[in-house]
Chains A and B, each alone.
Chain A
Amino acid sequence: MVTTVEPVAKLVEAFNKLPGIGPKSAQRLTYYLLGRPEEEAKALAEAILALKEKIRLCSVCFNITDCDPCRICQDRERDHAKICVVERPSDIPPLERTGKYNGVYHVLHGPISPAQGIGPGELKAKEFLSRLQDGSVTEVILATNPNLEGETTAMYLRRIILPLGIRITRLARGLPFGADLEYADDMTLSQALEDRQEF
């Protein structure tokens, strides 16, 4: 039987639980850390702890944040009459990187997934609807993923926002940059044709 020192075995086990890390990688990471200075290990441990201690959900948009409301919701320069609805917190950074959007966000924390039994009740959909009640919002941008679950979510949200008379838009769908026309699927191609623009 292989005997390992307990702290090493514990850390290997902890790393092994992370996604994409198997027992060999877990061992490699552990022995790597063993060979590093103490400060480095401490910094890593503190960063992990801070993640759980300081990060929470913004009470307005439900994005992950270390201050409440989050920096985007607090920013007066941004257009609070526009709300972009996304599925996950990780969808916000790529939208921000474009530098084209100056409104605020709402994170649903997942799409509606009938096959997994996830309905609007399990998402932050009610909270989103209550954000729209004061009449200050003029446009809702539905930025859920362009797949079956994302479409279901977008169609559902559209149905419940429609009576409020707010402008509803959906991120354009079409051919991605670098794509090949002959490999495009029917749904994308028909959408790209319908939404073609003056050039």
Chain B
Amino acid sequence: MGAPRSYQTQAIIIKQIKLGEVDKILTIYTPEFGKLKVVAKGTCRPGSKLGGNVEPLTYSLLMLARGRNLDIVTQSQTIDGFLVLKSDLWRMACGLYVLELIDSFTLENNENHPLFDLLLDTLHRLCQGDNSETVLHYFELHLLDYLGYRPQLHRCVGCNSPIKPVVNFFSSSQGGILCSHCSQKESDSRPLSVGALKILRLWQSCDYATARRVKVGTELRSELEQVMLGYIKYLLQREVKSIAWLEELKKESIVDNNCGRD
């Protein structure tokens, strides 16, 4: 007996692109199948039964029918629409950044249940109004961990010697910390203060409840941001598009007070 012609899955809608006049191709992230591309027919019509259930940043239950190339969404029901997230410009931008990272880092049909849980938890945390930077950096570090890009933060990636509590260097191409001696051979490494290293180590290994209690000063914040973004950009070999929008909002001080940078 072949595979059943239809199946049901939970999914977080990551992206949609228009297909013809009224249809859309959705990129979804599911717990059982990882990232999938599926077709949602007629979603651009005002009376569409799928409509709002398949907008990006929505956690839905989907019924899918196997298609020749792409599977087709036949029924949908919203589990969580993240309405709080969608009603705030800054938090929505953070959510879109999270979705872009998931889309960029994952391959289709590669199941990764912990990553699905991380994505869902991150969107919930953004909704709860937690400090957005902590939420995002915690997400970035654990995303890299689940995908095999966990940065080495305890030993020098050049000579394997233990890291001393002085200013060390972070190398994106080597994927971790370099001691001051080894950093001289790596032109792309950037200095990393003891404080920033400590926070990265803690966030990498602790649970979220502990991570959210860490208070981070302004200087450390921008240092952490540069290190993480530099590493992500190196791994993707391109810019993260939604970062430009986050930067634009920061420039215009459209940052949620509860969620942003104190």
Contacts and interface: CB of A to CB of B under 8 A. Distances in A.
Contacts of A121: 248
Contacts of A151: 86, 92
Contacts of A185: 51-53, 55, 58, 78, 81
Interface in A147-189: 147-148, 151-152, 155-156, 159-160, 176-180, 183-188
B46 interface: yes
Given A152-B92, A185-B52, A190 B83 contact: yes
Given A114-B242, A179-B47, A188-B51, A156 B100 contact: no
B62 interface: no
Nearest to A116: B241
B56 interface: yes
Interface of B: 15, 20, 46-47, 49, 51-53, 55-58, 78, 81, 83, 86-89, 92-93, 96-97, 99-100, 239, 241-242, 244-246, 248, 252, 254
Contacts of B86: 148, 151, 187
Interface string A111-146: 010111101110000000000000000000000000
Given A114-B93, A148-B57, A187-B83, A20 B49 contact: no
Interface residues of A, number: 29
Contacts of B97: 114
Nearest to B56: A148
A117 B53 contact: no
Nearest to B246: A114
Contact of B100 (A115, A183, A186): A115
A183 B53 CA distance: 9
B242 A186 contact: no
Contacts of B83: 186-187, 190
A35 B244 CA distance: 53
B47 A176 contact: yes
Contacts of A188: 51-52
A83 B49 CA distance: 32
Interface in A25-56: none
Contacts of B89: 152, 155-156, 159
Question: When A and B form their complex, which 10 residue pairs have the shortest distance between CB atoms, in order from nearest?
Answer: A185-B52, A114-B245, A117-B241, A176-B46, A114-B242, A183-B49, A186-B81, A155-B89, A186-B78, A185-B53
Contact of B81 (A120, A176, A187): A187
Contacts of A190: 83
A180 to B, nearest CB: 7
Given A117-B241, A151-B86, 17 more contacts: A115-B96, A117-B245, A120-B248, A121-B248, A148-B56, A148-B86, A148-B92, A148-B96, A152-B89, A155-B89, A176-B46, A176-B47, A185-B55, A186-B81, A186-B83, A187-B52, A187-B55
Contacts of B51: 185, 188
A158 to B, nearest CB: 9
A184 B242 CA distance: 29
A183 B47 CA distance: 9
A119 B57 contact: no
B242 A115 contact: yes
Contact of A114 (B46, B81, B241): B241
